[in-house]
With several copies, the nearest count.
Chain A
Amino acid sequence: MPQMRDIRLLGEPFLPGALIGQFTQANPGLGGVCTFVGEVRGGIGVEALELSHYEPLTLPGMNALADRAFARFDLMGLLMVHRIGMMVPGEPIVCVSAAAAHRRDAIDAVDFCMDHLKSAAWFWKREKRRDGWHWIEPRTEDHADRARWGN
Chain B
Amino acid sequence: MTIRVVFLGRLADIAGTDAVELALPEGQIDWDGLLGMIGAQMAEVVHAETVKLALNGAVLPDKAALVASAGDEIALLPPVSGG
Q: Which A residues are within 8 Å of any B CB, using their own CB?
A: 38, 51-52, 54, 56-57, 60, 82, 93-94, 114, 117-126, 135-138, 142
Contacts and interface: CB of A to CB of B under 8 A. Distances in A.
A54 B10 contact: no
A104 B80 CA distance: 19
Contact of B80 (A38, A56, A122): A122
B9 A124 contact: yes
A140 to B, nearest CB: 12
B61 interface: no
B42 to A, nearest CB: 15
B82 A138 contact: yes
A149 B12 CA distance: 32
18 contacts: A38-B83, A51-B83, A52-B8, A52-B12, A54-B75, A56-B57, A94-B83, A114-B83, A117-B83, A118-B82, A120-B82, A121-B83, A122-B77, A124-B10, A135-B10, A135-B78, A137-B81, A138-B81
A52 B54 CA distance: 16
A124 to B, nearest CB: 3
A135 B14 CA distance: 12
Interface residues of B, number: 19
Contacts of B54: 54, 56-57
Contact of B57 (A60, A135, A138): A60
A142 B80 CA distance: 11
Contacts of A126: 9-10
Contacts of B57: 56-57, 60
A118 B79 CA distance: 11
Given A52-B12, A56-B57, A126-B9, 7 more contacts: A52-B8, A54-B54, A93-B83, A117-B82, A119-B82, A121-B80, A142-B82
Counting from the closest, the 8 A-B pairs by CB-CB distance are A56-B57, A124-B9, A118-B82, A117-B83, A125-B81, A94-B83, A135-B10, A136-B81
